[in-house]
Every structure is written in structure tokens, then in C-alpha cells.
A = this chain, B = another copy of it.
Amino acid sequence: MTSGLRERKKLATRLALHQAALQLVAEHGLDGVSVDDIAARADVSPRTFFNYFPTKDDAVVGIDASAVGQAAERFAARPASESPVEALRAVHALQAAEMADEPETLWPLRLRVIDEHPVLLARLHAVFASAERALAEAIAARTGTTVGPDVYPTLLAAVSGAALRCGLHAWLASDFTASLPALVDEAWDVLAAGLPAPRR
């Protein structure tokens, strides 16, 4: 399927560039690192860098566009007996588990770096937003609504992104000692209850 020396090498240099970008930025800050630096550490020419990422910022965030549609696909594949919220919770449980388990400590490092650079946060949000657009379509299809005029699909998609981001934020705040899936699930509990003020 994905075999072939060519494919594997591309994946490898892509990852190398991403990790080089992350480490260097963690060390010297976003403005203290140039594309040339990143390319040098990944052992490719500066020009090649742009064959892999359209932007320096994208290399730091390092999320491929292919992963974007994933959430929407998984949502669409859930049994029709589930309510939209139930289905989304299930999708997020899977997604959160994958993020927490990912090889290396990639996500922690990513989140730490992104947290220190608002520009990168915006970039991450852009990725989420694009995923949410696809998700809104899937929600509309499931509920018989329409993305344009009806608020529901857009709202639920946006809220799901909020839940996930919120979980990631709390995960970072816990210094990655908490369980990401548990945090995301907690957020969904609050949402499903209609956002009541927490009892103190």
C-alpha cells in the first residue's frame, strides 16, 4: 500500500524537517530560526524545504492535510443509531488516545512550542478549522440539515473543535500527567449538560 522506497523516504524527510523545526524553535524561539537552519539540520537544501511545507510555520506545527479529513470520515462511519454528540465523543476518544500514544513525545513538544507563539496557535487553529468544515458537512448529512442556513452543523463542528483544543490545553497545563482522553471526555460532559456553572 504505502510501500516503495520513494514514499518512505519522503515521509522520513518530512518528519525530519518537522522535528528539526520543532527542536530548533524550542531552543531559539520562532524568530531565532531561519528556514536555512531547519533545512541544514534535516540535511536537505533550503529549496527542498518548500517542497514539503509551504511555510516555516507549517513545518513547526507539522500536521499533514491528510489527517484533516480523518475526523469527518470517522464520524460518518459511526452507526446511525448514535446521536451526533455520542458519535463525536466516540471519535474524539479514539483521536485523543492516538495523540497521547504517538511515538516520541511529539505532541507534548508541539504543544509547548505552539503555546509560546501565538502565530503558531493561529496556524493550528487553521488546521482545526479546515477539519471542522469537513465535519460540518458530515453532521449536516447525518441530521438532514444544511451547512449554509442552519446553525446546527457549523455550531456542533466548531464546538467539537473547542472541546478537543480545550482538552489539549488542560493536558499541557497538567504537564502531560493527566489523561488526554479523560480531559476531552470531561469537556463533553459539560457540553452535554448545557454548560452549567460548576458547583464549588
A: residues with CB less than 8 A from B are 83-85, 118-119, 121-123, 125-126, 129-130, 143-145, 147-152, 154-156, 158-159, 161-163, 165-167, 169-170, 173-174, 183, 186-187, 190-198, 200
Contact B118 A125 (CB under 8 A): no
3 closest A-B pairs by beta carbon, nearest first, are: A158-B162, A122-B126, A148-B173
Number of chain copies forming the complex: 2
- A183's nearest neighbour on chain B, judged by CB, is B151
Residues of B within 8 A of A161 (CB): 162
Smallest CB gap from A158: residue in B = B162
* Known contacts A85-B197, A122-B129, A150-B170, then 15 further A-B pairs from the complex at CB < 8 Å, ordered by chain A residue: A84-B195, A84-B197, A85-B194, A121-B129, A122-B123, A125-B129, A150-B198, A151-B166, A151-B183, A155-B163, A158-B162, A159-B162, A191-B195, A192-B194, A193-B194
User: Do A149 and B170 have beta carbons less than 8 Å apart?
Assistant: yes
Q: Is B158 within 8 A of A166, CB to CB?
A: yes
A196: chain B residues at CB < 8 Å are 83, 85
Of all chain B residues, which has the CB nearest A172?
B148
Give, as a whole number of angstroms, the nearest-CB distance from A29 to chain B. 17
**Which of B119, B143, B198 is within 8 Å of A143, CB to CB?**
B198
